[in-house]
Amino acid sequence: MSEVKNLKYYIETWGCQMNEEDSEKLSGMLKRIGYTKTEAKEEASIILFNTCCVRENAENKVYGNLGLLKKLKKNNPDLVIGICGCMMQQKGMADKILKEFPYVDIIFGTHNSYKFPEYLNRVKTEGVQVKEIFDKETEIIEGIPVDRESSIKAFVTIMYGCNNFCTYCVVPYVRGRERSRRPEEIEKEIKELVAQGYKEITLLGQNVNSYGKGLEEEIDFAKLLRRINEIEGLERVRFMTSHPKDLTEDVIMAIKECDKLCEQIHLPVQSGSDEILKKMNRHYDREKYMSLIKKIKEEIPECSITTDIIVGFPGETEENFLDTLNLCKEVGYDSAFTFIYSRRNHTPADRMENQVPDDVKHERFNRLVDVINKGVINGNKVYEGRTVEVLVEGPSKNDETKLMGRTRNGRLVNFPGDSSMIGKLVNVHINRAQPFSLLGEIVE
């Protein structure tokens, strides 16, 4: 790589936590070769967009933002523009981008992001345009530098890809098949983070419950959790995302029995209707899902349960939708990511008949959000008058005179305090529950 002086980079990320961690690695690679980060596109020597393709809205944002870069490129011909991520893995997408936005310099996908410094070097030294998309997943590359967004909490990916092929989802096509990292590599990364002062780790994977497949060592997710729980100095462990068809009693019991595992499970239901779940190819029914909820609540009463829900899947009737509403009322989720179904090219659902009209989708979406929000508010009220352990993350986003942090089960808490407490575990007495957060004060 040629010498770099006073060069800055800007990264914009769309999508899930996996994309966020990918961007932290891209940032780490750039810092290793001498670049510094900027939050202003106008200052950047390289602008990199890390894309998502799970929903149409995410793609539209990419097109809009790429269009805005045309003027910057004209004013600064040396500006390097790169685009990567899930959106680029879609068939024909890279060529479409280059045709509509010919000033893009680098395009690469999810499977070869580790080669980014090589691509950047070619653009800088040879003056060429680089487009390289690997069709299939590669072996897992370890040792990539990571520039973490937080100094308190960190993402650690334990596996890549997905084998489930839900009919609405593009993830198996853009992230590849399931591959698990070796447990010793995961433990090594976490121990290094603990040595740097990190308190909380979130384990990532499209389906963490599938962990262990393809490894020589006989290990599953529950066993991995118990091994991580033994790491000295680590305070908290979370994970996402769990697929209901693979969530085992062993995992539930590990959360119950391991002191560092937080009482929080993200368990996407997507629909409360058996008919729709079958069309989605989810491999469980309502009864199976509710039996898991019952088991979790019996074994871990303090466990917070969060979910993902899709509204307006092809063929969804009012009766199907009411099944979802009723399930949400029964579970009483602590939060939910709610989505209006978005058609995705090359997925079976895109070819299904009886696509639900947009106005019906939006009307149902609003009703769903209302039910979810009522459940969240009721769940928060339970904490009034209680004292909870909070990991202090930093200043409150709504009131800089206060601090904010989260309970073990993921509830947001705001309270008075000074910056010396950031990164520490404190006990907070909850005085009042707000709709989406708790207000309290530190107690000795």
pLDDT digits (tens, 9 = 90+) for 364-409: 999 999 999 999 999 999 999 999 999 999 999 888 889 999 999 9
All structural domains of the chain with their residue ranges: 8-132, 153-380, 386-442
Confidence band for 3, pLDDT divided at 50, 70 and 90: very low
pLDDT digits (tens, 9 = 90+) for 410-422: 999 999 999 999 9
Average pLDDT, the chain: 93
Domains 8-132 and 153-380 share a fold: no
Confidence band for 57, pLDDT divided at 50, 70 and 90: confident
Confidence band for 141, pLDDT divided at 50, 70 and 90: confident
Residue numbers in the known binding site are 16, 52, 86, 162, 166, 169
Closest CA to 407 of 337, 334, 309: 334
> With 70 as the cut, is the pLDDT of residue 88 above it?
yes
pLDDT digits (tens, 9 = 90+) for 157-198: 999 989 999 999 988 888 888 999 999 999 999 999 999 999
Mean pLDDT throughout 252-269?
A: 98
Report the topology of domain 8-132.
Rossmann fold (3.40.50)
- Return the CATH architecture of domain 153-380: Alpha-Beta Horseshoe (3.80)
pTM for this prediction: 0.87
Report the topology of domain 386-442.
OB fold (Dihydrolipoamide Acetyltransferase, E2P) (2.40.50)
Residue numbers in the known binding site for [4Fe-4S] cluster are 16, 52, 86, 162, 166, 169
Mean pLDDT throughout 23-45?
A: 94
Instruction: For residues 77 and 73, give the distance between their C-alpha atoms in angstroms, rounded to a whole number.
Output: 5
Q: What's the pLDDT at 5?
A: 62
Instruction: For residues 170 and 165, give the distance between their C-alpha atoms in angstroms, rounded to a whole number.
Output: 8
Confidence band for 2, pLDDT divided at 50, 70 and 90: very low
